[in-house]
A and B are shown apart, each in its own frame.
Chain A
Amino acid sequence: MRRYLITRLAQAAGVLWAAYTIAFFILDYLPGDPVSVMAGAAAQSAALDPAQLEALRREYGFDRPVLARYAAQLTDALRGDLGDSMAAGRPVTSVIAQALPPTLQLTGSALLLAVAGGGGLALLATATRRRWLRQVLLSLPSLAVSVPAFWIGLMLVQLLSFRVRIFPAFGDDGPAGLVLPAVTLAVPTAALLAQVLARSLTAALAEPYVQTARAKGAGRARVHLRHALRNACLPALTVAGLLAGQLLAGAVVIETVFSRDGLGRITASAVAQQDIPVVQGVVVVGAMVFVLVNLAIDLLFPLLDKRVAIGTAHAGSAA
């Protein structure tokens, strides 16, 4: 078991390194100009003299060969220094550390809502005996993902903040301000969850062991919850890492619509301004979240699915 853990940790580190490297070279390839980011709005003026920027570029070392910059930055990154934000002039780590708590709050509440909503929907859809209800319920997820998140958010704001003044439309003070953004963010996540869960629940209910349980006289609800749901959770768990990614990506839009501070907001402005150190930092954080979630799942997987654990040597490679 310890050997397995060490291997998995090494793999996780490898993924992080690969993500960092790919991101570095992709970002380096972007035609934007990091120095013009520092000049901000001033660089958008026709009055700008490119020679001024040229001098700055030298000053910040952007004229050095790409591999030299890569080596230097990777060394810094290993020491926990992700460089300074071009736009804000502060260390990237402090920019991200400041933005993380509100985003975690938002994504955490959204995840809870999504699990409750998506799981409930899937259970209801597979449990109901009414065919039409089942079809309607199964259509909801695809409806939810076919509507842009910003549209849902703006509509919720219009209805519940401007027409009926229940929740504030912006800001991140207090739980009331969290309701609308969390609901908006939960919608696409719940949809994905419901889809995967409904599908595997249906499959699980058709499996022989469920039939056996039923034949032994287990009640409908009991079969559903104890036997089928347990196995149906596996495919849902494999997408947990994806869900985390989806939530982070969703935060980009949601935090803009609801004027919240956070990682998504930082990402959006960093991409728009091509503030490369920040984008690079966000990629690393995103990759880290993803790797950690998957590590957790890999460790849980064998515990949950007896068949995989017992059946073959698969436990080690489930990821």
Chain B
Amino acid sequence: MSRPPRGEPGAWRPLGRFLRRPGLVLSVAVVTVVVLAAFWPALFTARDPLRGLPAQNFLPPSAEHWFGTDELGRDLYARVVHGAALSLKATLIAVGVAFVAGGALGLVAGFAGGWLEEALMRSVDVLLSIPALFLSLALVTALGHGTVNVAVAVGTASVATFARVTRAEVLRVRQAVYVEAARSSGARWYSVLGRHVLPGSIGPVAVLATLDLGAAVLAVSSLSFLGYGAPPPAPEWGALISSGRNYLLNAWWLSTLPGLVLAAMVLATNRIARALDAAWEAPR
């Protein structure tokens, strides 16, 4: 992203400000832990996420099993830790596909206008009008099963959303006084796009992307639940949450704790995104 015009002298100021905001510090810590767990699960647990003692099933959370054990006696904490990689990968791919493809479509449409905008937005309309679940299902069927394919399918289903929001923002920014000013002062179109329109409209899209992180994990989970994701016994988070609901009455932790971990991660990314957003906005 293009950097705000001013800011060189204040290079260290954000760090200071950052440390004075506990919520933000915590959020960064949460994301760091999740990323570490995704790459080096052994840092967090030595237990096997796939093997348990059936005799020790449905144990509530304790010092021995932090998150309790599941229906087959497997350690839920180990499963959540080992599931981080799969879930993170799926989420990032899904959001990445939606953000890049949808953002580009919306940007071009909003900035170019005319027949190009018309054509692009009509195709987006068609894409949008098909319920996302069917679109994803059909794509997975075409691409084949597996985590990456499911993620691509989920991402594709939200391309249209990103395109629309991006376009709406671009339209808004385009009208703004400072952009008009830049234009009338003879700036080139790419300069207007890169220096003003893009930074000005990226904020809401980034917010949408962070919102979409949670939605993506859940969408991936609903597809996993339908049998299109990583095959069992892989401990993908969405699958853990949805299969745990069968045990809400006798083992609340099976659905709730992975759910909390997911919520914590989504909250953290959202908090970070808002901080970034504010930083982008600040110079204006």
Binding site for B on A (CB under 8 A): 11, 14-16, 18-19, 22-23, 26-27, 29-31, 135, 138-139, 141-143, 145-148, 150-151, 154, 158, 191-192, 195-196, 199-200, 202-203, 206-208, 234-235, 238-239, 241-242, 245, 248-249, 252, 267, 271, 279, 282-283, 286-287, 290-291, 294, 307-308, 311-312, 314, 317-319
Query: Across the interface, do A19 and B175 meet the contact criterion of CB distance under 8 Å?
Result: no
Could you say which residues of chain B place their CB within 8 Å of the CB of A271? Answer: 133-134, 137
B242 within 8 A of A: yes
Could you say which residues of chain B place their CB within 8 Å of the CB of A142? Answer: 210-211, 214, 266-267, 270
Query: Across the interface, do A294 and B125 meet the contact criterion of CB distance under 8 Å?
Result: yes
Query: Across the interface, do B245 and A154 meet the contact criterion of CB distance under 8 Å?
Result: yes
Among the listed stretches B34-42, B61-69, B76-84, B164-172, which one makes contact with chain A, having 4 or more residues with CB under 8 Å of it? B164-172
Q: Which of B125, B177, B274 contacts A319 (CB 8 A)?
A: B125
Q: Which of B133, B171, B256, B284 contacts A252 (CB 8 A)?
A: B133
Among the listed stretches B52-60, B113-121, B191-199, which one makes contact with chain A, having 4 or more residues with CB under 8 Å of it? B113-121
Could you say which residues of chain A place their CB within 8 Å of the CB of B271? Answer: 135, 139
B182 within 8 A of A: no
Please name 14 pairs of A and B residues whose Cβ atoms are closer than 8 Å in the assembled complex, sorted by A: A19-B129, A19-B130, A142-B214, A145-B211, A147-B263, A195-B211, A202-B281, A235-B168, A245-B132, A271-B133, A282-B131, A286-B130, A291-B125, A312-B175
In the complex formed, the residue of B with least CB distance to A26 is: B138
- Report the bound CA distance from A235 to B167 in whole Å: 10
Q: Given A14-B122, A29-B141, output 6 extra A-B contacts at Cβ < 8 Å.
A: A16-B129, A139-B271, A145-B218, A203-B281, A271-B134, A283-B134
Could you say which residues of chain B place their CB within 8 Å of the CB of A15? Answer: 122, 125-126, 129
Could you say which residues of chain B place their CB within 8 Å of the CB of A150? Answer: 242, 245
Interface residues on chain B, size class: 35 or more
In chain B, positions 152-185 with a C-beta closer than 8 Å to chain A are: 161, 164-165, 168-169, 171-172, 175-177
Chain B interface SS verdict (over half): helix
B142 within 8 A of A: yes
Query: Across the interface, do B134 and A23 meet the contact criterion of CB distance under 8 Å?
Result: yes
Q: Which of A151, A191, A208, A307 contacts B255 (CB 8 A)?
A: A151
B175 CB to closest chain A CB (Å) equals 5
Tally inter-chain residue pairs, CB-CB below 8 A: 154
B4 within 8 A of A: no
- Report the bound CA distance from A257 to B214 in whole Å: 21
In chain B, positions 194-251 with a C-beta closer than 8 Å to chain A are: 203-204, 207-208, 210-211, 214-215, 217-218, 221, 241-242, 245, 248
Query: Across the interface, do A146 and B125 meet the contact criterion of CB distance under 8 Å?
Result: no
- Report the bound CA distance from A294 to B169 in whole Å: 17
Answer whether A317 and B242 are a contact pair too, CB < 8 Å, given A145-B214, A235-B172: no
A7 CB to closest chain B CB (Å) equals 10
Could you say which residues of chain B place their CB within 8 Å of the CB of A14? Answer: 122
- Report the bound CA distance from A312 to B242 in whole Å: 49
